[in-house]
Amino acid sequence: MELTLSIIKPDATDKNIIGKIYSRFEQNGFRIVAAKMLHLNYDLAAGFYAIHKDKAFYQELINYMTSAPVMIQVLEAENAVAKHREIMGATNPKDAKEGTIRRDFASSIDKNAVHGSDSIENAKIEIAYFFKDDEIYSNIS
């Protein structure tokens, strides 16, 4: 069993489709073992995406991620990181396969509905960024 971090982004919370995206998680065998809604401030968003700070899209990414509330959750499943990336689809919804969350709900590379950890190592860092151990209802650490 493995844990990964998921964020439902402002475009998806705006569209009122948190439940639809949660259903995708559950239908694909994930358990939601922690969750919180937050309106990220600049520092929290900038810290989370620090890995991208030299990229051309960084400023726009931070502005966007602080524009409305997001829903943040920890998902548990076997091979959770890879499996979650598979059901999210490619970063750019134009490249995402049919039946993926981004293909079905996202409108652009910026407004791409969801974020997911890209490696087991980053999942641990990202989960710890938003959740204390006693906020995660999982038997694995």
Residues taking part in catalysis? 115
The minimum distance between CB 56 and ligand CMP, in angstroms, equals 7
What is residue 51's DSSP assignment?
Answer: G
Rounded-to-integer distance, Cα 4 and Cα 33, Å: 10
Alpha carbon distances (Å) from 38 to 6, 35, 100, 113? 13, 10, 25, 15
Nearer to ligand CMP by Cβ, of 33 and 101: the residue is 101
The minimum distance between CB 85 and ligand CMP, in angstroms, equals 9
- Contact between 90 and ligand CMP by CB under 6 A: the answer reads no
Alpha carbon distances (Å) from 35 to 6, 51, 59, 68, 114? 9, 23, 26, 17, 14
- Contact between 117 and ligand CMP by CB under 6 A: the answer reads no
- Contact between 57 and ligand CMP by CB under 6 A: the answer reads yes
Nearer to ligand CMP by Cβ, of 77 and 89: the residue is 89
3-class DSSP state for residue 15? coil
Distance from CA of residue 59 to its chain's centroid?
19
The minimum distance between CB 33 and ligand CMP, in angstroms, equals 21
Q: What number of CA atoms fall less than 13 Å from residue 23's CA on the CB side?
A: 4
The minimum distance between CB 92 and ligand CMP, in angstroms, equals 7
Of 14-22, 29-37, 94-102, 104-112, the window that binds ligand CMP (rule: CB under 6 A) is 104-112
Which residues of the shown chain bind ligand CMP in the complex (CB under 6 A)? 52, 57, 61, 91, 109-110, 112, 115
